[in-house]
Structure 1
Amino acid sequence: MRDQPAKRALPVRSSVMNAQNAMVGLRGRDLFSTLRGLALQGFKQPIHSARHVAALGGQLGRVLLGDKPFKVNPQDPRFADPTWRDNPLYSRSLQAYLACQKQLNSWIDESSLDADDRARARFVATLLGDALAPSNTLLNPQVIKELFNSGGSSLLKGVTHLVDDLVNNDDMPSQVSKHAFEVGRNVATTSGAVVFRSEMLELIQYKPMSEKQYAKPLLIVPPQINKYYIFDLSSEKSFVQYALKNGLQTFVVSWRNPDPRHREWGLSSYVEALEKAIDACREITGSKDVNLLGACAGGLTIAALQGHLQAKRQLRKVASATYMVSLLDSQIDSPAMLFADELTLEAAKRRSYQQGVLDGRDMARVFAWMRPNDLIWNYWINNYLLGKQPPAFDILYWNNDNTRLPAALHGDLIDFFKHNPLTHPRGLEVCGTPVDMQKVTVDSFSVAGINDHITPWDAVYRSTLLLGGNRRFILSNSGHIQSILNPPGNPKSNYLENPKLTGDPRAWYHDAKHVQGSWWPVWLDWMQERSGEQSDTLMALGNQHYPAMEAAPGTYVHVR
């Protein structure tokens, strides 16, 4: 362990979009309205526009003469092929593209638009700039090489992939091979059984994988937005197996994928269902309390549950709480959210109530536009221009195994981002009881991702400060998913920690210590200290009141 310099630069947010945008969505007419406003601004400020056009002309003249005034980000894979640098024609086209981007952003920054309009304009300009990159065309040097190497078959394969995605993938490029994985065959394979089922969830208990086990069970609560098996992919990535091998009695919630019949399921419904799952864990294991672990929206759910239990004076059911990339403080600055006025929010609620659910494919589309170069244009090039199959990657397979949100929960989440209710006492009411997180004195362990574009790390940090009890916060070097899937042995894994949780995330960051390795062992030590005594392992699953039913991964995980 070593200290970093006190003046460590703050990480740059990797995206202008985040979880709020996935809940609210983006309307095409709002984007076109911004474009129209930009065009009008050009006429309103003709001298300003003419000056920037002249500057662009001068830069393009230098480019035509062979000058290279703009540097390419060495980490940008779009232009990694040396042809972009060494071939005069390609070098000039890339420099011209960079010049246009720079001048458009300068024109926006120096315009008379107000701050919000400038932010909206930069957002739209970024989307357009990414879409119009020369790497996205058939003139991409990689594409031309592949065309010659394949004798033209790459183009035919690309057209086939394009037609297939237009018909079967909602007009979006496929991100993963659809036939490489199967739930229960090569993902979600850890042995266990469903020991409790309600209309809303299945509770899976896993078979122990250690000679000794701790008394207090661990209950993993995944987000309602995705299926649970992100915690149980391949054996080397399986968080479930890591917990089992280290003596933790492990249960996981598998949420049902709702359909329009379940439109009235809101946050209170999920809290009530989760409380029943906790009671089942307690009775099966004979433990008075359980350790909770919630990820993303699952973290919000376990926080609301604890607030509800505290109001009922039953918080003794919870021994500790782990929050993975979870937002409790929902204040996030995002240019994309500048499109979301009151009418937009109400329209989003109305659409989901009319349909009964918010379709997972709609959320996936917005998530993809959070990182278009990685999640759209990368596959545009790979699938259509190069004619290749998308990769066989288990995380992307899970990410594309879409679920739906019931309309009531969708509305609750929109209100959560709108009002930020947990930042003040009794701001949120769940199951008829007010929630005050400062009165939830359960020890907590929170993890954020430094490159997380969905739940930004500083918002997760502020969320930690809302909690009562002893708090620990760790900042992983990864993004939203890789912060969760962070097994020991990965040489790239590292994290930051600072035991002094100040009110300012920036001050915490500058004083934090850099630690090489995964945070999983640190969490394991923390969790084992709060898991009671060890005893000989009992291999039986369930009990007479909660008998073992279907084998893991259960039935709800297969509902599409």
Structure 2
Amino acid sequence: MREKPAAGALPVPASFENAEQSAMLGLRGRNLFPTLRTLALQGIKQPIHSARHALALGGQLGRVLLGDTSHQPHAQDARFQDPSWRLNPFYRRSLQAYLAWQKQLNAWVDESNLATDDQARARFILAQLGDALSPSNSPLNPLAVKELFNTGGASLFKGIRHLLDDLVHNGGMPSQVSKQAFEVGRNIATTPGAVVFRNELLELIQYQPMSEKQYACPLLIVPPQINKYYIFDLSAEKSFVQYALKNGLQVFIISWRNPNARHREWGLSSYVQAIEEALDVTRAISGSKEAHLMGACAGGLSIAALQGHLQAKRQLRKVASATYLVSLLDSQIDSSAMLFVDEQTLEAAKRRSYQQGVLDGRDMAKVFAWMRPNDLIWNYWVNNYLLGKQPPAFDILYWNNDNTRLPAALHGDLLDFFKHNPLTHPGGLEVCGTPIDLQKVTVDSFSIAGINDHITPWDAVYRSTLLLGGERRFVLSNSGHIQSILNPPGNPKANYLEHNTLSSDPRAWYFDAQKHDGSWWPDWLGWIQARSGEQRETLPALGSQNHPPMEAAPGTYVHVR
């Protein structure tokens, strides 16, 4: 048992802004207007309260002008790391004034007679406003001024050029990555393999073996429908696919087709049927009666629905084990985004996507970004426009910006999933005409969550694990959503928590969990190898007589824009 952490050290992921939920709900600027109106009216309804805080702010600003430095930014706030914010009188005072304004504005909300939900909405909007008006976003940012002098003014012209390019080609959002640095099939997604099956929704890729012997039971990886599959196969150093291949596993992976308006009727049942086809082909090519399933994010929801469907058909024996990577099956999440949503908002989101046929990936990406604006917007505003620099050449960011679309029917199914939380009770979700009861899915499972995950909070992933039948393991990585998946051995900063007993309360589990240094990959490898049957000599040929290899990996669907 670990030493019991202090109460303040206990992570509270439910307070995170859940970006996945927000993106699916289709939050728009108009959803924020009622809260802005409420704030304006509040200032009128409580004039004495507002005047008291205005006078308090005036007094604080007066002390700031006299050189008072009573307000300190967060130690990990990268916006104010430059020494000028502390040493230069002008920058020190501008920072102190900004922090005093933020503190007093939040105090005005906290001490008002607004309802609890209205206070939460107000804090969310004021946080967005505060981030936008940060003095670090100004052209007078000391980093920008230094770069202007160092480059003889060239940074200004480069920044303007980057801004105009993003206005035309990136929907007005700052680019997060240099897109010219990567090409799928050239320097990312390069593991040798071939497409061995294709239907309207997916391509199934089988990879070339990388070991002298292979385990009999293959692994089928199901990526999320809202991203390209190659997050599992970036560089050789980060490739989960290569790690599994080098350790004797037969690896198959699904590459989803990027849908357009013609595919608006593809719903969760359509995807489950497609995965079942891919599972049967995987079993047929490998000669195994069963296969392991691994699902990430929405792919985890899909494999859970598939197993519930197979259980209802008495065909669950096709699945040897299931691995869930940062996957929500229990969708009960408390987030500020949900406070802006009502039945009308949900129906409007469904109607918009059905009229368009799809939910565009660029729209989802914008919502994701606005849930963490300092990291995903203003950071690049400063780098690209104020400093005039190119965004970084980072493979994970390239993948993250390789947007896909969601068909309208699946978007509607996911909205209903977040609204009704159907998997928490037997028969709450029906897929392919069969009711789903996850407690009857007695397949052994291995679940991964990230302690800093703002997309699928770790406590919700933990509760999702409890919904499953069979032998369950839960691992909590010390990283975020993507880094929890891309966690290769060798990272000195990596560690994870685990405890054999899964209590009903995730906080109780956290207190009792043991810390392990390093990546969870080797732990998972031993777990899945023990369930993979005997080892045999590797067969280098891909496909089979009934499923001959077609295009070389990464296939054709991954290139569809």
Rounded to whole Å, the distance in 2 between the matches of 1:473 and 1:155 is 50
1:350 maps to what in 2?
Answer: 351
Contact 1:7 1:510 in 2 (8 A): no
Contact 1:440 1:467 in 2 (8 A): yes
Q: Given residue 521 of structure 1, which amino acid in structure 2 is its aligned partner?
A: P
Please tell me the residue identity of whatever aligns with 2:343: E
Match of 2:328 in 1: 327
> 2:257, 2:557 within 8 Å by CA — same for their partners in 1?
yes
SS in 1 for 2:338: helix
2:166 matches 1:165: yes
- Does the 8 Å CA contact 1:4/1:512 hold for their aligned counterparts? no
Corresponding residue of 2:232: 231
- 1:333-344 matches, within 5 Å, as 333-344=334-345
C-alpha displacement of 1:6:
4.6
> Residue 68 in 1 paired to residue 99 in 2?
no
Q: Which amino acid aligns with 1:211?
A: E
The AA in structure 2 aligned to 1:267 is: L
What residue number does 1:511 align with? 512
Aligned-partner Cα distance in 2 for 1:266–1:16: 26
- Asked if structure 2 preserves the Cα contact closer than 8 Å seen for 1:329 and 1:459, the reply is yes
What percent of counterpart residues are identical?
78
2:179–2:398 CA contact under 8 A, matched in 1: yes
Cα deviations by residue, 1:35-66 (Å, 9 ceiling, x for unpaired): 12101100100111111111111211221111
1:201 aligned onto 2:235: no
Structure 1 segment 79-158 matched on structure 2, within 5 A: 79-158=80-159
Partners of 1:461 and 1:106 in 2: how far apart? 34
In the aligned structure 2, how far is the partner of 1:32 from the partner of 1:80? 34
- Aligned residue for 2:54? 53
Write the distance in 2 (CA, Å) between the matches of 1:59 and 1:4: 42
Aligned residue number for residue 521 of structure 2: 520
4+ runs of 1 displaced by more than 6 Å? none
**1:299 corresponds to which residue?**
300
Report matched runs for 1:131-530 at 5 Å.
131-530=132-531
Total equivalences in the alignment: 559
What secondary structure is seen at the aligned counterpart in 2 of 1:322? strand
Letter in 2 for 1:97: Y
Letter aligned with residue 10 of structure 1: L
In 2, Cα distance between the equivalents of 1:518 and 1:212?
24
d(CA) in 2 for partners of 1:12, 1:476: 15
After superposition, what is the alpha-carbon deviation per residue over 1:200-225, rounded to whole angstroms, capped at 9, x for unaligned? 00000000000010000000000000
1:4 equivalent in structure 2: 3
> For 2:142 and 2:458, how far apart are their aligned partners in 1?
37
SS of residue in 2 equivalent to 1:96: helix
CA–CA distance in 1 between the matches of 2:28 and 2:288?
49
Give the Cα separation in 2 of the matches to 1:443 and 1:386. Answer: 51
Q: Tell me the amino acid that sits aligned with residue 4 of structure 2.
A: P
Q: Do the aligned partners of 2:194 and 2:550 also contact (CA within 8 Å) in 1? A: yes
Q: Is the 8 A contact 1:16 1:123 kept in 2?
A: no
Query: What are the within-5 Å matches in structure 2 for residues 545-560 of structure 1?
Result: 545-560=546-561
Q: Helix, strand or coil for the counterpart of 1:452?
A: coil
Counterpart residue number, 1:28: 29
Amino acid in structure 1 at the alignment position of 2:246 = K
The code of the aligned residue for 1:493 comes to A
Per-residue deviation, 1:25: 1.8
Q: How far is 1:12 from its partner?
A: 4.3
Give me the whole-angstrom Cα distance separating, in 2, the residues matched to 1:386 and 1:4. 45
User: Is the 8 Å Cα contact of residues 6 and 511 (structure 1) preserved in structure 2?
Assistant: no
Q: Tell me the alpha carbon deviations over residues 119-166 of structure 1, each in whole angstroms, 9 at most, x when there is no partner.
A: 100000000000000000011000000000011110000000000000
- Give, in angstroms, the shift of residue 515 of structure 1: 1.0
Q: Deviations over 1:495-525 (max 9, x none)?
A: 1111111111111111111111000000000
Q: Which shows bigger deviation, 29-38 or 540-549?
A: 29-38
How far residue 178 of structure 1 moved from its aligned partner, in angstroms, is 1.1
CA distance in 2: counterparts of 1:112 and 1:309, whole angstroms: 53
Unaligned stretches of 5+ in structure 1? Answer: none
Deviation at 1:332, TM superposition (A): 0.4
Q: Is the 8 A contact 2:16 2:457 kept in 1?
A: no
Compute the displacement of 1:81 (Å).
Answer: 0.1
**2:247 maps to amino acid:** N
Work out the CA distance in 2 between the residues paired with 1:4 and 1:305: 40
Match of 1:41 in 2: 42
Unpaired stretches in structure 2, ≥5 consecutive residues: none
2: distance between equivalents of 1:462 and 1:18?
A: 19
> What is the distance in 1 between the residues matched to 2:390 and 2:263?
37
Measure, in 2, the Cα distance between the counterparts of 1:17 and 1:542: 41
> Are the counterparts in 2 of residues 18 and 334 from structure 1 also a CA contact under 8 Å?
no
CA drift at 1:17: 3.2
Question: 1:16: Cα distance to partner?
Answer: 1.9
Inter-partner Cα distance in structure 2 for 1:556 and 1:175: 24
- Conserved 8 A contact 1:4-1:514: no
8 Å CA contact 2:217, 2:250 repeated in 1:
yes
Contact 2:451 2:478 in 1 (8 A): yes
1:18 Cα deviation from its structure 2 partner: 2.4
The answer to whether the 8 Å contact 1:15/1:370 transfers is no
CA deviation map 1:392-426 (0-9, x unaligned): 00000000000000000000000000000000000
Any idea what the Cα deviations from partners look like across 1:179-238, whole Å, max 9, x if unmatched? 000000000000000000000000000000000100000000000000000000000000
Distance 1:375 1:15 in 2: 15
